[in-house]
């Protein structure tokens, strides 16, 4: 793939990797060597405190390229990865860490911080989709999916509400607040919801409530023992995007 | 496959199908054309009121042969399919249908009927495993899985407790009573649990309670809207037995 969007290109074991920037938002794109026009685009969000090249994300990106032939993109959320963290975001992060260390509820801080990050990140993802669908290998009619847990769900759910170009999504393991419930009620695309069954920081009941709120007819819940830090990807992989995005 | 166990052999689209009988229990076996020694054996249980050749079961059996190369076996539960129903079983079935028609709880009747069927069916499945593992294509060390919802879970769960030759199982959509909770607490093999999320006849909470009771470290729950009559097999398929039984 050639585009003025891309600043670097490397190849590793059959996957082409490009860095790109949309304004001041840095991103990375993984692609097969010669994707045809209309190749499905999978957007991968990173979790809170992580970034666009976190190892788990890169592993899922490479799998989607090699198994399904998808083009995959990730961007850094505001204040994550290569992006500077502003003073307010630093205060929220400090509060969360202090809450966790003291065994206090992080609910109020996570709600404020995630909602603020989502408000900023949704237009960034939309600009990313604009730029990537201008590439001939993707194009305006390519199927687009979004996948991401925790912070990536807090961003991805309002993104799916705002942008009808995304037609299938995987969410889960997310701290639940009212705005997310409201977003779920407006989401009708096929979804999978991944639920850590025994998460010490996110109650099972709140996850079940969020799953129930999705308006999608095609929705499934996949629950696994443990917390959102240990997701047994193979055990809950239903080849969702291969079914949803390959026509 | 040749064996004095088999009474008929037919071939359809690459799947060999044999009828067999173990004592007075009729069964059917689906196999690839030339399975090697040690081929994994998948046991498929049928739901209440159904039988060993119900269309959904046959579809799953053929998939397991064609996709995974497994040998698959099903037998009729007592009073189901080709087996005569005794007077007590007929009374239980009549009571259940009358309960359902009148909108009454079927709990007491299902508990008594399913527990009785399981008590009779467990040794029948064990005799079936004995006979099938004597076939050279399977043999005594072949991996064995069990899959079945509703009545098949009510039978399969005590079967797994009784017979350590089964090393992976899929259960779900089952009416829950105390003996099943007790069985789940003794089950440690990898399991998947399929949960109809809005079943009018089986409460969500009882299904969640049963999932929680499994002692297995490797367990996942897969929930889908609707009842146990409409299981979206593709949407919850994680290739469980391919991961568990293929060495």
Q: State the pLDDT at residue A4.
A: 85
pTM check: above 0.90:
yes
Chain B residues whose beta carbon lies within 8 Å of the beta carbon of residue A209: none
Query: Which chain A residue's Cα is nearest to B194?
Result: A222
pLDDT at B229: 84
Residue of chain B whose alpha carbon sits nearest to that of A236? B238
Q: Is B77 contained in some domain?
A: yes
CB A172 within 8 A of CB A45: no
Give the whole-angstrom CA distance, residue B130 versus residue A26. 61
Coil, strand or helix at B12:
strand
CB B154 within 8 A of CB B174: yes
Q: Which residue is listed with tokens 């797994």?
A: B160
Identify the residue whose tokens are 């030339």.
Answer: B34
Mean pLDDT of chain B: 96
Average pLDDT over residues A13-40: 96
Q: Where are the beta strands (DSSP E) in A32-162?
A: 41-44, 71-75, 144-147
B59 in a structural domain: yes
How near does any CA of chain A get to the CA of B220, in Å?
5
With respect to residue A1, please indicate whether it lies within any of the assigned structural domains: no
Q: Is the pLDDT of residue B140 over 90?
A: yes
pLDDT digits (tens, 9 = 90+) for B2-27: 888 998 889 989 999 999 999 999 99
**Distance (Å, whole) CA B226 – CA B129:** 34
A122 pLDDT higher than 80: yes
Strands B144-147 and B41-44 turn out to be parallel
Task: Give the domain range for residue A65.
Answer: 6-245
HSE-CB for A34 with a 13 A CA cutoff: 0
For A223, the closest of B217, B220, B234 (CB atoms) is B220
Are A126 and A159 spatial neighbours (Cβ–Cβ below 8 Å)? yes
Q: B238 and A243 in contact by Cβ < 8 A? A: no
Q: State ipTM.
A: 0.91
pLDDT at A247 > cutoff 80 = no
Supply the DSSP symbol for B11. Answer: E
pLDDT computed for residue B1 by the predictor: 79
Q: Cβ(A82)–Cβ(A37) under 8 Å?
A: no
Give the number of domains in chain A: 1
Q: Is B20 part of a structural domain of the chain?
A: yes
User: Is residue B247 over pLDDT 80?
Assistant: no
Match 């990173």 to its residue by tokens: A46
Domain at A159, CATH number = 3.40.50.1820
> Measuring CA to CA, which residue among A160, A157, A159, A191 is closest to residue A175?
A157
**What pLDDT band is residue A201 in, cutting at 50, 70 and 90?**
confident
Answer with the residue of higher pLDDT: B139 or B103. B139
CA dist., res. B140 & res. B142, Å (int): 6
Residue-wise pLDDT for A79-111, tens only, equals 999 999 999 999 999 999 999 899 898 999 999
Cross-strand partners of A6: A20
Question: Does B138 reside within a domain?
Answer: yes
**Confidence (pLDDT) at B70:** 98
From B135, B132, B123, select the one nearest B77 (Cα to Cα).
Answer: B123
B154-212: pLDDT as tens digits: 999 999 999 999 999 999 999 999 999 999 999 999 999 999 999 988 999 999 999 99
The answer to whether position B149 is within a domain reads yes
- For residue A27, being part of any structural domain is answered with yes
Does A131 reside within a domain?
yes
- Mean pLDDT throughout A165-169? 98
Backbone angles phi, psi at A241, to 5 degrees: -70, -30
Confidence of residue A200 (pLDDT cuts 50, 70, 90): confident
Give residue for tokens 């039978």.
B155
């Amino acid at each position: 793939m050639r585009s003025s969007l891309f600043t670097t290109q490397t190849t590793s074991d059959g996957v082409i990797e490009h860095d790109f920037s949309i304004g001041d938002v840095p991103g990375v794109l993984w692609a097969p060597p010669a994707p045809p026009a209309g190749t499905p685009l999978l957007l991968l969000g990173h979790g809170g405190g992580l970034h666009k090249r976190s190892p788990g994300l890169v592993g899922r990106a490479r799998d989607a390229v090699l198994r399904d032939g998808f083009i995959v993109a990730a961007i850094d959320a505001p204040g994550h990865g290569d992006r500077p963290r502003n003073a307010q975001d630093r205060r929220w992060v400090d509060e969360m860490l202090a809450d966790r260390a003291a065994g206090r509820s992080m609910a109020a801080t996570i709600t404020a911080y995630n909602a603020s990050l989502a408000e900023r990140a949704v237009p960034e993802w939309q600009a990313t989709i604009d730029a990537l669908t201008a590439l001939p290998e993707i194009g305006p009619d390519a199927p687009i999916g979004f996948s991401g847990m925790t912070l990536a769900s807090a961003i991805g759910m309002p993104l799916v509400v705002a942008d009808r170009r995304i037609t299938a999504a995987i969410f889960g393991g997310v701290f639940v607040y009212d705005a997310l419930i409201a977003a779920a009620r407006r989401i009708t695309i096929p979804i999978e919801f991944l639920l850590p069954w025994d998460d010490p920081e996110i109650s099972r009941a709140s996850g079940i409530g969020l799953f129930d709120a999705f308006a999608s007819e095609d929705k499934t819940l996949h629950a696994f023992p443990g917390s959102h830090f240990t997701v047994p990807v193979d055990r809950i992989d239903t080849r969702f995007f291969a079914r949803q995005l390959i026509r």
